Amino acid sequence: MSESRIKAQPFEFTFNPDRTAVMIIDMQRDFCARGGFGESLGNDVTPTAAIIPTVRTVLDAARDRGMFVIHTREGHRPDMSDVPKAKKRRSPAIGEEGPMGRILIRGEYGHDIVDELQPRDGEIVLDKPGKGAFYETDLELILRNRGIDSLIVMGVTTHVCVHTTIREANDRGYECLMVEDGTATFDPRDQEASIRMINQQGGIFGWTATSNEVLKGLSN
Among 55, 67, 152, 160, which residue interacts with ligand TIU (rule: CB under 6 A)?
A: 160
State the nearest-atom distance from the C-beta of 14 to ligand TIU, in Å: 28
Residue 131 in the binding site for ligand TIU (CB under 6 A):
yes
Q: Closer CB to ligand TIU, residue 6 or residue 33?
A: 33
Q: Supply the minimum distance, in Å, between the C-beta of residue 5 and ligand TIU.
A: 29
Min dist CB 11 to ligand TIU, Å, is 27
Among 1, 11, 12, 41, binds ligand TIU (CB under 6 A): 41
Name the closest residue to ligand TIU (Cβ): 161
- Intra-chain end-to-end CA distance of the chain, in Å: 11
Active-site option among 128, 131, 176, 181: 128
What amino acid is encoded at 165 in this protein?
Answer: T
The residues assigned a catalytic role are: 26, 128, 161
Interface contacts to ligand TIU, rule CB under 6 A:
26, 31, 41, 74, 131, 156-157, 160-161, 186
